[in-house]
Structure 1
Amino acid sequence: GNRDPYRANLGAFNLGYSPVNGTRISLTFRAQQTTSAAPSLGFAAVYDDPNNFLYNENYFGKFGVTSNLFNGLLTTELFVAELQNDLVNKNLLDAADPNAQSNNDHYHGYRTDVQWNNTIHVPDFGPAQFSSVLFGVEYINDHATESVNDSGPFVASINASQHSIAGHFGVQTTLYNRLTLTGALRDDAVSSFGSALTGRVGAVLALPEADLHLKTSYGTSFLAPSLFDLYGVDSYSGFPYMGNPNLKAEHSTGFEAGPQFDIPAFGQADFISLSATYFADNISNLIQNVYINNNTASTEANIGKARTSGVETALVFTPTSWLSADITYTYTYARNLSAGTALTRR
């Protein structure tokens, strides 16, 4: 066979400046480039293609300003972020390839994210401490272009965009220095799927006599399909993928609860932390990748009803303030309730 090379380059920087006391200006940039080769073995006949290359370029930039105003009563943050992702699959036609496979596919994805987030720090009152009110807005604009030129011949292209505006509001407080309560609401308006109101409530009970915290939360969520889910087209390595413009948005409810023990030793308040959390999620219109055309292609589809449940466990050692190690394990039981079968790839 042929050797398949892989090369990755990564560069990043993070700059910060405080023009006045309580205000911080920050600039972050990250760039990653990856070049790799894939066998592209084909389906009609096995052939280790030496000319099939994948190129991935990812650029991220973020500019933000954070200020503490009114003697620390209000913390406000405004930032603008830009993400660009370029994917290219080039596979030159090889005379020795019995599948006559070739590709010249380009995908360009762009995302602009603008957020304004605020926290009002409420003075302690009676049994309530460390109270705060949070609110803000977020605007996201996604745009994607793609051209696919494969052997067959097969030529396709997309040029699509989608934007969303969301507002959020939340409160939190700690009562009697033991019980921390949180609540939040979020309203998302997505250009292709309308609006959805979601929320979450949670509680943490501290029992220092037993080095124990008891945690629980319940919430609802909303997930709109991505542009690639809706309109993506590719035939990388000879296995076609087609987006599904008829997808619906996911809606779900979730519950979790469990204990966390923080055992002090050797001057560390949490020398050993042991936690176990039970979770259960009920999902409507779950977006799932499925095979079609006798398992020769794939697309996205909605599963009417699905449920995932299980237990997450973690054991964390913190011998010093600058060193920690953790061991985690998660058991997940996932079911497609509409079909009465196991939910794959979860």
Structure 2
Amino acid sequence: MEILRSSFHGQSVKLDWQHTLKLHKTTTLVLGIETSEDNAKTDSYSSLWGTNNFDEKFARTTGVYLQDQLNLFDAWFSTFGVRVDDHSKFGTEATYRFTTAYLIKQTDTRLKGSYGTGFKAPSLYQLYSSYGSPDLKPDKSIGWDVGVEQGLPFMKTTLGATWFRNEYSQMIDFDMNTYKYNNIAKAHTHGLELTAALQPVDDLTFKVSYTYLETRDDISGKQLVRRPKNKASFDINYSFLKKANVNLGLVYVGTRYANASNTQKMKDYLLVNLAGSYDITKNLQVFGRVDNLFDRQYEEVAGYGTPGIGAYGGVKVSF
């Protein structure tokens, strides 16, 4: 039997600045810069392979971004943004995103869409932990979506539908066969998201969403791991006494494959979460939440447990 011990210690420091310029009643410009530095070290021991330690590693990322928000006639809303990131290991990469929405006021119909690119460098954990791969490449993507939202007078109802597609190159994922992070050379996802919200009375809101997702590793032809075809959520939010709020949320995650060869499936699960808050004064609020209210046992990654029931609370002070 192999004996394996490993530890990973990391730290991240981030600084960002953002400035908003109201150039015109129709145009708002957002500019920003952010920089972050990560450092980490790992120690691991295997009775089969011996000691495998990495000296402390560092990574710095500096990004600048600009976004233009356009509002015409209070009916057409668009944004265009561009971002340039410089990574100490992977160099400089530019990404962009365009979104637009048009409101037909006569019917309370909103048509919307977006198109953009993405870039994600592997983390130090993905590179240098005992599960890491130092030869990982950055994850790059192109994605778009189109959708419609329709308002109805009955109980302030809003219905929505969005069709989306994303294409990836060198997608970073965890391989259960090797227990290492790796790159999937080419993959894509596409699907449909349906939403509904209604407000029978002013203080009570119901929201429901459902997502159907298809995924594919374009090289192997297999489905991507840990991506459920079916996922749904349901929320009830109730405000009362003008100071209190309570939210009950249900999350359903359907079956999905645990491994890249699509030979092992993970069970579906349903989680119930509860949260609430109370404003003691206009500047003082107490809040709390209970996650996984019924202590459901489930896995997000095969073989790795997740927390059971958990309670959290705190105090928020504002000035």
TM range (shorter): 0.5 to 0.7
Residue in structure 2 matching 1:174, options 38, 63, 71: 71
Residue in structure 2 matching 1:335, options 208, 216, 230: 216
* Residue aligning to 1:132: 28
CA distance in 2, matches of 1:248, 1:218: 23
1:278 lines up with 2:174 in the alignment: no
2:102 is matched by which residue type in structure 1? L
CA distance in 1, matches of 2:12, 2:204: 36
The structure having more radius of gyration, on CA atoms, is: 1
CA distance in 2, matches of 1:282, 1:288: 15
Residue 106 to residue 343, structure 1, CA distance change in 2 (3 Å) = closer
| CA offsets 1:262-306 (integer angstroms, 9 cap, x no match) | 22456xxxx222111110011111112113xxx4x4111111111
Residue 138 to residue 340, structure 1, CA distance change in 2 (3 Å) = same
Aligned residues: 226
1:148 lines up with 2:29 in the alignment: no
Residue in structure 1 matching 2:16, options 101, 115, 124: 115
CA distance in 2, matches of 1:206, 1:188: 34
CA distance in 1, matches of 2:50, 2:216: 37
CA distance in 2, matches of 1:207, 1:302: 44
* TM norm structure 2: 0.66
* Residue aligning to 1:7: none
Residue 280 to residue 102, structure 1, CA distance change in 2 (3 Å) = same
* Residue aligning to 2:173: 288
| Secondary structure of the corresponding residue to residue 106 of structure 2 | helix
Residue in structure 1 matching 2:148, options 239, 249, 259: 259
After TM superposition, give the deviation of residue 318 of structure 1 in Å: 3.0
CA distance in 2, matches of 1:319, 1:143: 51
Residue in structure 2 matching 1:210, options 75, 97, 107: 107
| CA offsets 1:70-101 (integer angstroms, 9 cap, x no match) | xxxxxxxxxxxxxxxxxxxxxxxxxxxxx4x6
Residue in structure 1 matching 2:129, options 232, 238, 257: 232
CA distance in 2, matches of 1:121, 1:323: 35
* Residue aligning to 1:93: none
What is the root-mean-square deviation in Å for CA atoms of aligned residues? Answer: 1.8
Unaligned runs of 5+ in 1: 1-98, 234-241
Instruction: Tell whether the 8 Å contact from 2:188 to 2:218 is kept in structure 1 after alignment.
Output: yes
* TM norm structure 1: 0.62
Residue 102 to residue 323, structure 1, CA distance change in 2 (3 Å) = farther
After TM superposition, give the deviation of residue 157 of structure 1 in Å: 2.1
| CA offsets 1:164-221 (integer angstroms, 9 cap, x no match) | 0000001011112211111000001111101110001111000121121111010011
CA distance in 1, matches of 2:15, 2:204: 35
1:143 is matched by which residue type in structure 2? N
Instruction: Tell whether the 8 Å contact from 2:42 to 2:128 is kept in structure 1 after alignment.
Output: no
